[in-house]
């Protein structure tokens, strides 16, 4: 089963997506997401200029061998561009293999470990009472787990405040938007937000919060401690994780569960966090962590240390990635939760998919392969638009993590 054709499809149905399509000599095809928000064309070039010419004529059944060849064979290791490109090839090959065997992908990954996949949605507000209303709206839709972000009083443009829609798009055309940040104001505000949410909704809904890498370890420890009475499902990315040992300090001070890893590319980014059990959920997902093959290795290491998965699932991860993540989530034993930020209707039309939301959970469906397709004619009507993620500055102008 040789790979006969390979193409990269770049489109922008509401936002940019990079999709790899591999076609075999038998006419089967598989899809892989290669989207890297704000740096999309770098991955498209990596695939077009360097990877795809080496894949034509290769055996589509040799998934692990292809992964190792692309990883070790490049000599230059890791990094988001390389790993998104490898992920796309890996995902497309798993799609082809499952289609060739006429089974949904999760059957090849060990079969279903559960009936469906618990997901969380994104509620937000310009003030605490707006956020309370947004959470009520999500509960009415059937969600059982909700991430809550809220504009910090006195700060323009707080991360994650989405204007009342079911999806939130931080990337903007032409130039990076500039947000202004104050950790002092944020640390004073967030415990008040969650106190109000628990007062309104009681102990049952799972509540999550994303710090988006903005605090120092001791500030993160303070936040985790002050949120303990409101028992969050998780506190996400409390501090940047390039130095994994930073999490020791947070861990010494708080029992609030921690989630980290949406920007991780390989197991080497998180092995210490897992081995020392410095986090409770690992957020790496298919497109940014080397595909299904590599993500399974991360999950296996996490399982050894009782860390559960919580795959990234924001709007910039295409329905191809979402479908792949759902097959993975359904199969691994140590699944925790899946982020599910909905896509625009244009995106859903370009990527028809089988996965369905019901009662706060998703199921990938039982179509052979991933259960997701791309309408190339429609995709061509939405050409690429250059877009940038925001940058963040402190009130005195200093650049800060966004
Ligand atoms: O591209 C960046 C987004 O995916 C990210 O900001 C979303 O932090 C995020 C999340 O938790 O969904
Ligand atoms: Mg996040």
Best residue among 15, 38, 262, 392 to mutate for probing ligand 1, ranked by most atoms within 8 Å of CB: 262
Is it the case that residue 156 has pLDDT exceeding 90? no
Ligand 1, pocket residues at CB < 6 Å: 37, 170, 210, 212, 262, 312, 314, 316, 339, 389
Share of the chain above pLDDT 90, in %: 95
- What is the rounded average pLDDT of the residues 302-324? 98
Ligand nearest to the CA of 316: 1
User: Hey, is 350 helix, strand or coil?
Assistant: helix
**Selection from 113, 206, 138, 33 nearest residue 357 by Cα:** 138
Render pLDDT for 242-260 as a digit per residue (tens, 0 to 9): 999 999 999 999 999 999 9
Region of 308 (left: φ > 0; alpha: ψ -120 to 50; beta: rest) is beta
Is residue 159 annotated as part of the catalytic site, yes or no? Answer: yes
Structure tokens at 70: 């692309």
Q: Which helix (H) or strand (E) holds 105?
A: helix 105-108
Render pLDDT for 312-321 as a digit per residue (tens, 0 to 9): 999 999 999 9
Round to whole Å and give the CA distance between 221 and 364: 37
Is residue 212 annotated as part of the catalytic site, yes or no? Answer: yes
| Summary mean pLDDT of the chain | 97
Catalytic residue among 71, 106, 143, 159: 159
Q: Could you give the domains of the chain?
A: 3-104 (3.30.390.10), 108-367 (3.20.20.120)
Structure tokens at 87: 């992920």
Share of the chain above pLDDT 70, in %: 100
DSSP string, 38-65: T-HHHHHHIIIIIIHHHHTTSBTT-HHH
Distance 243 CA to ligand 2 centre (A): 18
Structure tokens at 352: 């028809």
pLDDT value at residue 170: 86
User: Hey, is 98 helix, strand or coil?
Assistant: helix
Ligand nearest to the CA of 120: 1
pLDDT value at residue 174: 78
Altogether, the residues listed in the chain come to a count of 402
pLDDT value at residue 164: 66
Distance 254 CA to ligand 1 centre (A): 24
- What is the rounded average pLDDT of the residues 343-350? 97
Is it the case that residue 237 has pLDDT exceeding 70? yes
Is it the case that residue 159 has pLDDT exceeding 90? no
Which residues, in sequence order, are CB contacts of 370 under 8 Å at separation 6+? Answer: 30, 31, 91, 94, 95, 98, 105, 320, 323, 324, 327, 364
């Amino acid at each position: 089963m040789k790979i006969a054709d390979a193409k990269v499809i770049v489109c922008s149905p509401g936002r940019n997506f990079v999709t790899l399509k591999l076609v075999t000599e038998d006419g089967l095809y598989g899809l892989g997401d290669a989207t890297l928000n704000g740096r999309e064309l770098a991955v498209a070039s990596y695939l077009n200029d360097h990877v795809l010419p080496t894949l034509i004529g290769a055996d589509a059944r040799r998934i692990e061998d292809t992964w190792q060849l692309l990883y070790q064979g490049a000599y230059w290791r890791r990094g988001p561009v390389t790993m998104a490109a490898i992920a796309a090839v890996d995902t497309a090959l798993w799609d082809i293999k499952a289609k060739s065997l006429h089974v949904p992908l999760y059957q090849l990954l060990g079969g279903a470990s559960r009936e469906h996949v618990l997901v969380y949605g994104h509620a937000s507000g310009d003030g605490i009472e707006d956020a309370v209303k947004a959470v009520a709206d999500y509960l009415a839709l059937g969600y059982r787990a909700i991430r809550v972000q809220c504009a910090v009083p006195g700060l323009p443009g707080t991360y994650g405040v989405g204007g009342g829609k079911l999806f939130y798009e931080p990337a903007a055309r032409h130039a990076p938007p500039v947000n202004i940040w104050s950790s002092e104001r944020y640390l004073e505000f967030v415990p008040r937000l969650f106190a109000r949410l628990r007062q309104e909704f009681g102990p049952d809904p799972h509540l999550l919060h994303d710090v988006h890498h903005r605090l120092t370890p001791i500030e993160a420890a303070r936040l985790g401690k002050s949120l303990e009475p409101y028992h969050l499902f998780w506190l996400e990315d409390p501090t940047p994780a390039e130095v994994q040992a930073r999490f020791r300090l947070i861990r010494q001070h708080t029992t609030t569960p921690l989630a980290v890893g949406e920007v991780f590319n390989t197991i080497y980014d998180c092995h210490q966090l897992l081995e020392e059990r410095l986090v409770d959920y690992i957020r790496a997902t298919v497109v940014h962590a080397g595909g299904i093959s590599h993500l399974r290795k991360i999950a296996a290491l996490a399982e050894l240390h009782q860390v559960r998965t919580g795959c990234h699932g924001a709007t910039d991860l295409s329905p191809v990635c979402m479908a792949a993540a759902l097959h993975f989530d359904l199969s691994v034993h140590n699944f925790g939760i899946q982020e599910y930020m909905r896509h625009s209707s244009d995106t859903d039309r370009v990527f028809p998919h089988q996965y369905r939301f019901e009662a706060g959970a998703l199921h990938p469906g039982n179509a052979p392969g991933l259960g997701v397709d791309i309408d190339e004619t429609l995709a061509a009507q939405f050409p690429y638009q250059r877009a940038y993620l925001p940058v963040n500055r402190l009130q005195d102008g200093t650049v800060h993590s966004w």
